[in-house]
């Protein structure tokens, strides 16, 4: 399936950064978002990630297919937290 292949790989800002730096930054941001009490930081991180995907010209269909499962899991968790 071409949606999950390296077909969309192009030269962009993240391809020039070492993988260890990207992993460390991702884990740091994840820890910050999970430990934050409000909605401002998670919203800002989400907005910046969406803008980065847009700047990298990720196709919308590929983006939606890759993020449909995590969004479903997050929505179920939010619903469970809301009702309980």
pLDDT at 23: 95
- What is the DSSP secondary structure assignment for residue 34, as one 8-state letter? H
Written in H, E and C, the secondary structure of the chain is: CHHHCHHHCCCCHHHHCCHHHHHHHHHHHHHHHHHCCCCHHHHHHHHHHHHHHHHCCCCHHHHHHHHHHHHHHHHHHHHHHHHC
In 3D, which of 47, 49, 23, 44 has the Cα closest to residue 33?
44
11-60 pLDDT per residue, tens? 777 788 899 999 999 999 999 988 988 889 988 998 998 898 888 888 88
């Amino acid at each position: 399936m071409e949606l999950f292949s390296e077909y969309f790989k192009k030269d962009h800002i993240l391809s020039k950064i070492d993988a260890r730096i990207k992993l460390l930054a991702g884990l740091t941001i994840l820890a910050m978002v999970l430990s934050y009490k409000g909605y401002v930081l998670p919203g800002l991180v989400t907005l910046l990630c969406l803008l980065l995907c847009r700047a990298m010209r990720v196709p919308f269909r590929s983006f939606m297919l890759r993020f449909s499962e995590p969004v479903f899991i997050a929505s179920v968790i939010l619903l469970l937290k809301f009702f309980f």
